[in-house]
Copies of this chain bind each other. A is one copy, B any other.
Amino acid sequence: MSTRTLHSLATACGASLEGNAALAIRGPANLRDALADEISFCGAARFRAELERTRAGAVLLPRDMTVERKDLALLRCDDPSKAFSQVVALFAPQYQRPAPGVHPSAVLEAGCELGEGVSIGAQCHVGARVRIGARTILRAGVELGEGVQIGADCELYPRVVLYPGVQLGARCVVHAGAVLGSDGHGFEPTARGWVKIAQSGSVLIEDEVEIGANTTIDRARFGVTRIGRGTKIDNLVHIAHNVVIGENSMIIAQVGIAGSTRLGRGVVLGGQAGLAGHIDVGDGVRVGGQSGVTASVAAGQELWGTPARPIKQTLRTMAHANRAAKFEQRVQDLERRLAELAARCDAHTPSSKEQG
């Protein structure tokens, strides 16, 4: 891995440099692990202790942060976290922007329309009448079914599959192995077994959506399964037929959303959460990891647990459950003491019988 001078890094991220401009930096690291030829960052005062101990050669930090040490090169900037990302990207092993054009091993069917600067990677298969917007990149082995439409400036990573008719907006990113437009899981029970219900809709992904590796989004029975603008979906998520997700929502890994459920804007679903079908989840709802949401949720709620409840309620119920052992002891004590007291009363007051 090649090195870069501190001077070039400071320039790249717009920082003011205090220290040896010629220092050769091998890469980025966090404060705790960084070595003398690495650069790190300190974003907030609460990391001051780590800053004072770090063995890093240089550190990005806020313009006004004071530092006791004199042996550390300082790169002062407005937003150390953002500047660090820029530095990190300079060292990163990333897919490079390929030359525009179609790789000779790719197969294009009749009637495709490719925008300016489109790049189709090795072994892609592009179905008939597919339309791809300007500058969009297909990495190796992408499959686009007949009639797929993709906007400008998208990136589809290797082995992504879009079934026929799937529509993707502009500036979308789809990671390797994701499948969009597979049949919804719809079957009717009959005397001779499950009979397939035709899944004849499609999938509509709006602009600026990112979809994680090996995630699956099923086509609608009819109409579209729709993912709203700016929504970010992690790896191995399952989104069933006819689901609708609003803008700027966030779906963490391994979430499953059953058929026809609708999410509002800005919804956040924690990892491995599951949502029942045919429910409505309001704007801004936050659902904790592994929750099971079994009913519709009003906007703004924060839920956790299975079945998912307002998080305070779930925590209270859990706290009671954890106290249960002690609690059972208290009931046992009560039973004993009540029996003793009753015995004393029996000994010193006339019994019903005696009264009779």
Chain A residues engaging chain B, CB cutoff 8 angstroms: 27-30, 33, 81, 84-86, 88-89, 91-96, 103, 105, 107, 121-123, 125, 139-141, 143, 145-147, 157-159, 161, 163-166, 173, 175-177, 179, 182-183, 185, 187, 193-194, 196-198, 200-202, 208, 210, 212-214, 216, 218, 221-223, 229-230, 232, 234-236, 238, 240, 247-248, 250, 252-254, 256, 258, 271-272, 274, 276, 289-290, 292, 306-307, 316-318, 320-325, 327-328, 330-331, 334-335, 337-338, 341-342, 344-345, 347-350
Contact = CB atoms under 8 A, between A and B. Distances in A.
Given A159-B143, A232-B185, A232-B187, A122 B103 contact: no
B179 A176 contact: yes
A246 to B, nearest CB: 12
B252 A95 contact: no
Contact of A272 (B221, B222, B256, B335): B256
Contacts of A95: 145-146, 163-164
A93 to B, nearest CB: 2
Contacts of A240: 253
23 contacts: A28-B223, A29-B223, A86-B198, A91-B222, A93-B145, A94-B200, A95-B145, A105-B105, A105-B107, A177-B179, A179-B214, A185-B235, A194-B230, A194-B232, A216-B253, A238-B271, A252-B258, A253-B258, A254-B256, A258-B289, A317-B321, A341-B341, A345-B348
